[in-house]
Amino acid sequence: MSKIKAKRIGILTAGGDCPGLNAAIRGIGKTAIVEYGMEVIGFSAGYTGLIHKQYTELKEKDLSGILTLGGTILGTSREKPFKIVTEEDNDKPALIKQNYDDLGLDGLVCIGGNGTMKTAHHLSKIGLNVIGIPKTIDNDVWGTDMTFGFDSAVNIATEAVDRLHSTANSHGRVMIVEVMGHNAGWIALYAGMAGGGDIILIPEIDYSSDVIIRRIEERFHHKKPYSIVVVAEGIKHPKDLSAARYISEMIQSRVDVEARETVLGYTQRGGSPSPMDRILATRYGSYAAQLIAEGNFGTMVALRNNDLVPVSLEEVGGKLRLVEPDNNLIQKGRKMGVCFGDE
């Protein structure tokens, strides 16, 4: 493959925010400028900025002091330029291609989750030189062992579980903690295990109310006066109730015990990134700049066995990386008596 040294590149952050976005922007920009002598621009509010040609020139000095910041200095949005809702939407891909060409871009780095990677693949098919970087607290982007943002979210969720232990013990209550993750149970699994959860419910494992009740009753029978239940938001539950509220009401209707729920919500997406996420995002960003310099486009930066590798965007789009029911951490949890609602 002939190598192309790109002279001018764009960066955008799309989808939901998460800790580590600025670290990734910094990793891309500093490597592109210092190592490869490229010009760098940042698009405002994700794909919206690309559609409306809203951008900022990024110099090396602009990338200093942002490593530890939460959020994204570029802003983000959930714009999906290939989703046709109105007649005007048909023009968005063409506008993006025109703006990309008008700005003289040699490459575009799209930082985001599953939807962002799917759009990045579509942009690649219409002629843009695209590199994807996977980010999401949900850790569900297919093709990589880990997304940045996940470690920070697990730290936040684990701290919440830690704090609830003492309250649960003092009052002899069942405390239900709901964490984010959409249809993936990675946060619940890791925070539940790290925080000593007694029952962990994830979307990938069907749970039985009878099993949950039996486990709580067993704990009281063995003089364990409280229980911690960690629940992923994506488990099966009525749409008019949160997952935590549903489990709480179910428990209180069948066992003579007080149950309280805590929904962590957006606290898991905010704040300064953990050291691990800063490092991972920096590695991803720097490697993305390297892939652009090598002309290895149409790919997503991925972590596999702690090595960075390019993965085809075509392979990534439309797939989710979910927790396998036989995941090693689940197996270890079962051997320690952790209940996953199914047995």
- DSSP secondary structure of 157-181: HHHHHHHHHHHHHHHT-EEEEEE--
Could you tell me which residues come within 8 angstroms of residue 231 by beta carbon, excluding any fewer than 6 positions away?
Answer: 176, 177, 178, 179, 188, 201, 243, 244, 247
Is 342 designated active site?
no
Scan for tokens 């960003």, then name that residue: 285
Count Cα neighbours of 62 within 13 Å in the Cβ-side half-sphere: 14
**At residue 322, what is the residue type?**
L
CA-CA distance, 260 to 245, in Å (whole number)?
8
Classify residue 335 as exposed, middle or buried by CB count within 10 Å of its CB (0-12, 13-18, 19+).
Answer: exposed
Classify residue 268 as exposed, middle or buried by CB count within 10 Å of its CB (0-12, 13-18, 19+).
Answer: buried
Tell me the pairing of strands 55-58 and 39-43.
antiparallel
**At residue 165, what is the residue type?**
H
Long-range contacts of 51-59 (CB under 8 A, 24+ apart): 51/79, 51/81, 51/92, 51/95, 51/96, 51/99, 53/99, 53/102, 53/103, 55/10, 55/103, 58/11, 58/25, 58/29, 59/33
Question: Which stretches within 75-149 are classed as H helix?
Answer: 92-102, 114-125
Residue tagged active-site, from 89, 101, 106, 138:
138
Tell me the pairing of strands 107-112 and 199-201.
unpaired
Tell me the pairing of strands 107-112 and 130-134.
parallel
CA-CA distance, 219 to 235, in Å (whole number)?
23
Q: Which residues are catalytic?
A: 138
